[in-house]
Chains A and B, each alone.
Chain A
Amino acid sequence: MDRTRFEITSKQLIFIIVGTQVATAMLSLPRVVAAEAGHHAWLAVIVGAVFPLAAVFLIVALLNRFRDADFANVSHQLFGKFLGTLLILIFVGYATVVQSVVIRMFTEITCVFILPRTPIWAVSLVCTLSVVYAVSKGAKVIGRLNEFLFYLLIIDLLMIIGAGITQGTYLNLLPVGDVDINGLMQGSLKIVYAYAGCEVLLVTYAMVQHRGEILKAALIGEGITVLIYLMIVVVGLMVFGHEGLQFFTWPVVTLLKIPYSSALGRLELVFLLLWVTLGVRPIMNLSMSASYAFTRAFNLDFNRYYAWIVLGVGAGIYVLSLQPDNLLQVFALADYVGYAFIAISLGYPLLYLLVSVLRRQKSL
């Protein structure tokens, strides 16, 4: 098997983790969090980060126990051929559903702001095809791509900050003291959907060249994600206030439409122009993880089958993404994806850890 196509550096792991998390959810994030947590939404972002952090620690703790930390390999070792394969397939299925939700959200945003008359199937199709093309190139390319796109993300974020500073007021964030604990907790749960994505570490762990740096890289990645979300939520609150946020489906896009700008008529379109390339990152990363895990689960030859499996996963995503009838269903699905994320990213490592501890004791 051509392992070199699936090698990434620990630096690229940072960007893969950031890239899988920060995408479509970011545009509606301030509204979703502020609905529950009010003007303390930014605190909810920090509190909500507990889930992905715990997941990262658990995954690293689990995979550190194995010399060959390949996800498929570990599953087979712990659960035997049949059960292990079943668990991998559940993971692949989960990843496919998440991707289909993301791609649908992506398509909806595109259709609302850029292409109001283009049918959803067409937009979804070209997205899936571009993703399949990128994924078929292997993890190395995905890593580099994530790294490059991260810097585009920074440009986008600078635009948001610029609009926020000129249009917003810090008064909307005050006072800091009176925290509504209940709302904060609700908000933290709501934000979990936005943190979905760190479970790619389960699969990408084995691809990283220097294993010693994985934990550090993953934590830095999580840190960057939290910072970005924090910034977006703060800017959203500054411009709209927590009540004003509720009017807009994607407040982050709307806030770019507010400034008077004479040179470029529409800041939000420039933003979306860059964002289109950013929005496909989680689909790309998850699709790569799923295809890789699938190929390894059945021990197939990478050179012969990987591209076809990528195509198959792509077809699955595409068909699933066309299922919801409207945007509200997509948002509802996104909530379920958040819960599934908690189940997968915490449940898998816990289950695996438990079994591996039991097994090792038995064998000793």
Chain B
Amino acid sequence: MKYRWMVIVVILAMSTLLCGCWDTIDVENLDISLIAGYDTPPSGEAGKVAVTALLAAVVEEDEKIGTYSAQTVGETRSRRAYNEPRQYTLSQLQVMLIGKDLARQGFRNIIDPNMREPRVKPSINVAVVNGRAEELLHFMAKKDIKRVSDVLISLLQIIPERAFVPRTSLFCLAADSYAPGMAVAVPVLQPADNQQGVELTGCALFAQDRMIAQLDRMETRSLVLLSGKKAHGWIPFSLYKDGQLYDEGTVFVANQRKVKVSRQGELIVFDIQVTLKGRLVEHAVVQHSSTLYEEQHLREIEEAVADDLKMQMQDFIEFMQEELRIDAIDITPYALAKWRQEIAPQLEQGFIEDVLINVDVEVILQNTGELG
């Protein structure tokens, strides 16, 4: 008897609940935003931010690009709600593009709504557009690329597999750029020179909530190697002997970094050891005819690459310490781990310019491919 009543109570409760499927929105009623671009509003329009969304092709044939500008990101969502037939969802957002102008102005107002929204995953990739994000998307769509989203998503997702350019997630951007005394690097995209698609031109550095510098490809490579972000890439080399070009070619390497921190009196010294491991891709012996698989020759190539890179890195460190005055290569935590209470207060005032940073590069070519 008791059981019967319990069952009736539960069934009644369940059937009441069945009346409301509060969260149900079937997929076909969604505007699935795959890429979001953030810009300053185009001249003549009011507001602070323009949000461009690239929507997946569900009902329509092609992907759709729509821009709304308003005072805040939330307001653009509300404007979208008035104008679009379907529910706008961020749950499949894969890439976030930031226009250069907005990046220079500061992007706190676009990080906050995206980090706060539980449906946006913080692991989405972020890129800065050299120009306007909206224009880049329209440019790509006009170039008859059927799926703009595919190109951009995979381009950013597999950066570290092929180039020394950092891949940055929304979370890294948010967390590291707010850490005092630290800067975070974000890849920079622009329409390709040959007008066919997009290309990576290097990276942009963000500190606090704005972009502070833009680096070219060489500097970006130094930054990636120094900061120890895992990447693979091709590095060309030329080998000189007695002032004459003796050999040139390319190596394909993966990087690794070790940091040691020590103290000489008040001076904090960082020793960064960068190790590159990989293989020889090609070389052309210009003035040499003896056997190619001499170990000595391989050593010379390794050294040539290492010397070259070391010089570039030292230049970059100098540039970082004297002009940027901020830690872009993620070494401050090593100092903090030893002297946290002492260093933490002075990070705001500037820390990286007063330390000594030594770099050592080692290149290890493990094989030479199928040819000797």
Contacts and interface: CB of A to CB of B under 8 A. Distances in A.
Interface of A: 39, 112-113, 115-119, 122, 125-126, 129, 133, 136, 169, 171-172, 174-175, 178, 240-241, 243-244, 247, 254, 257-261, 265-266, 304, 307-308, 311
A113 B341 contact: no
Nearest to B92: A265
Given A126-B17, A129-B13, A260-B169, A265 B341 contact: no
B172 to A, nearest CB: 9
Contacts of A308: 2
Contact of B22 (A117, A174, A259): A117
B143 interface: no
Nearest to A258: B171
Given A240-B175, A243-B179, A258-B171, A175 B20 contact: no
A136 B7 CA distance: 12
Interface in B137-195: 157, 169, 171, 174-175, 179
A117 B21 CA distance: 9
A115 B13 CA distance: 19
Interface of B: 2, 6, 9-10, 13, 17, 20, 22-23, 115, 118, 121-123, 157, 169, 171, 174-175, 179, 333-334, 336-341
Given A126-B17, A171-B336, A174-B338, A257 B22 contact: no
Contacts of B333: 169, 171-172
Contact of B338 (A119, A133, A175, A265): A175
Contacts of B175: 240, 244, 247
Contact of A258 (B122, B179, B338, B341): B122
B121 A265 contact: yes
A125 B169 CA distance: 38
A178 B342 CA distance: 10
Contacts of B10: 129, 133
A340 to B, nearest CB: 30
A258 B169 contact: yes
A175 B22 contact: no
B22 A171 contact: no
Contacts of A259: 123
A304 B2 CA distance: 8
Nearest to B117: A116
21 contacts: A115-B22, A119-B22, A122-B17, A122-B22, A125-B13, A126-B17, A133-B10, A175-B340, A178-B341, A240-B175, A244-B175, A247-B174, A247-B175, A254-B122, A257-B122, A258-B122, A259-B123, A260-B123, A261-B123, A307-B2, A311-B6
B337 A174 contact: yes
A258 B176 CA distance: 13
Task: Give 3 closest A-B pairs by Cβ, nearest first.
Answer: A174-B337, A118-B22, A171-B333
A175 B123 contact: no
A133 B10 CA distance: 9
Contacts of A119: 20, 22
Contacts of A304: 2
Contacts of A122: 17, 20, 22
Contacts of B6: 136, 307, 311
A341 B6 CA distance: 33
Contacts of B341: 178
Residue among A115, A265, A304 with the highest chain B CB neighbour number at 10 A: A265
A174 B336 CA distance: 8
A112 B118 contact: yes
Given A172-B333, A259-B123, A113 B118 contact: yes
A136 to B, nearest CB: 7
A266 B121 contact: yes
Contacts of B2: 304, 307-308
A171 B337 CA distance: 5
Nearest to A241: B179
Contacts of B121: 257, 265-266
Contacts of B334: 171
A127 to B, nearest CB: 12
A254 B20 CA distance: 29
Contacts of B338: 174-175
A160 to B, nearest CB: 16
Contacts of B122: 254, 257-258
A174 B17 contact: no
Contacts of B339: 175
B262 to A, nearest CB: 15
Nearest to A242: B340
Contacts of A112: 118
A127 B326 CA distance: 51
A116 B9 CA distance: 27
A254 B120 CA distance: 11
A265 B94 CA distance: 10
A248 B13 CA distance: 35
A248 to B, nearest CB: 9
Given A117-B22, A174-B338, A243-B179, A125 B118 contact: no
Contacts of A243: 179
A156 B122 CA distance: 20
Contacts of A254: 122
A208 B61 CA distance: 66
A116 B23 contact: yes
A122 B2 CA distance: 25
Given A39-B340, A178-B341, A240-B175, A125 B22 contact: no
Contacts of B22: 115, 117-119, 122
A217 to B, nearest CB: 32
Nearest to B339: A175
A258 B123 contact: yes
A125 B123 contact: no
A111 to B, nearest CB: 10
A169 B332 CA distance: 13
A257 B123 contact: yes
A308 B336 CA distance: 59
Nearest to B119: A116
A115 B23 contact: yes
B2 to A, nearest CB: 6
B325 to A, nearest CB: 21
Given A169-B333, A247-B174, 16 more contacts: A112-B118, A113-B118, A115-B22, A116-B23, A122-B20, A125-B13, A125-B17, A126-B17, A129-B13, A172-B337, A174-B338, A175-B337, A243-B179, A257-B122, A257-B171, A260-B157
Contacts of B169: 258, 260
